[in-house]
Amino acid sequence: MQEHIVGYSLVDITDASALQRQNLNSILQCVSLRANPMNIKVMLMANQSMENYDFGQNFGGHHNVWIISFTVEQSMLYENKSGPLGGLHEDVHQVPIIADLMESATISPEIFDAKDHLKKNIYFNRQVL
């Protein structure tokens, strides 16, 4: 059964320039450790209220949010003791990024943070298709 996964990031993962593409490539490499992502789509949602998202508490107000969605061929590939997507969050956590692109949030240290309740700048949700 296919699984649809949607990720939310305060880090610029646009596919427009070489530097931005490196951040996107880093995510896709992490995703690919356990699955082959298909139907990959990335979009920018500008000036979003952080109240509508699950980012760390350090990120208040309004910021640019990048959304990546993809499908994988099997469900529960990323499941571990931390939850249905625990493995994906662990794989992405602390991966270095290129910052100061189109981010409106200050990302420090310059890593994807999928765990810290204060500095979390990326997270994923799943939907079974």
C-alpha span between 39 and 19 (Å, rounded):
22
pLDDT of the residue at 129 = 62
Is the peptide bond between 37 and the residue preceding it cis, with omega within 30 degrees of 0?
no
Is the bond leading into 84 cis (omega within 30 degrees of zero)?
Answer: no
Domain boundaries, the chain: 3-128
Name which CATH class applies to 3-128.
alpha beta
Q: Does 99 score more than 80 pLDDT?
A: yes
Instruction: Reply yes or no on whether the pLDDT at 21 is more than 80.
Output: yes
- Residues 72-94 have pLDDT tens digits of 998 899 999 999 999 999 999 99
Mean pLDDT confidence for 111-117:
97
Task: Using a cut of 0.85, tell me whether the model's pTM lies above it.
Answer: yes
pLDDT score for 128: 63
* pLDDT of res. 104: 96
More confident of the two residues 8 and 16:
8
- Does the structure show a pLDDT above 90 at 16? no
Q: What are phi and psi of 8, to 5 degrees?
A: -125, 130
**Contact present, 127 and 7 (Cβ < 8 Å):** no
